[in-house]
Amino acid sequence: MEDTAALQFRYKSGALGTMAVSMLTYPKNLEGSITILGENGTVKIGGKAVNKIEYWEFADNHSDDKEINNYSYETSSIYGFGHFLYYQNMIDSLKGLDTPACNGDEGLKSLEIIVGSYLSAKNSETVYFPL
């Protein structure tokens, strides 16, 4: 299937990460989600457009914890509402009215993971970052 990947990461700290990605699910995109499992807490953000805090629990409470559900929102689009805000920021940045939410160097980090994934699959070997 096109646009499908299963990745494993080992960070410099020794932490492990996995990523499973598919852009082609039948009969439509089901959801996007990010789950972080940590020594002292667990978070899952999911929903149709990664728009819902589904789980948020930590060993230590923080004063902001009670606010976390205010960040979930309803949407009928798998793209949510983030694209418009990103495009507005980009236009305002080009006009000198704002600073970029994501600069070129940060954007290249995502691209580097994609290129590294292709290299690892092509050569059947571990890839180290930065490339």
Kindly list the domain boundaries of the chain, sorted by start residue.
1-78, 81-125
Is the pLDDT at 89 greater than 60? The verdict is yes
Could you report the per-residue pLDDT of 21-70, keeping only the tens digit for each? 887 777 877 778 899 999 999 999 998 888 899 999 999 999 999 899 89
* Full-model pTM: 0.71
Contacts 24+ apart (CB under 8 A), 108-117: 113/7, 117/5, 117/7
Q: Which CATH class is domain 1-78?
A: alpha beta
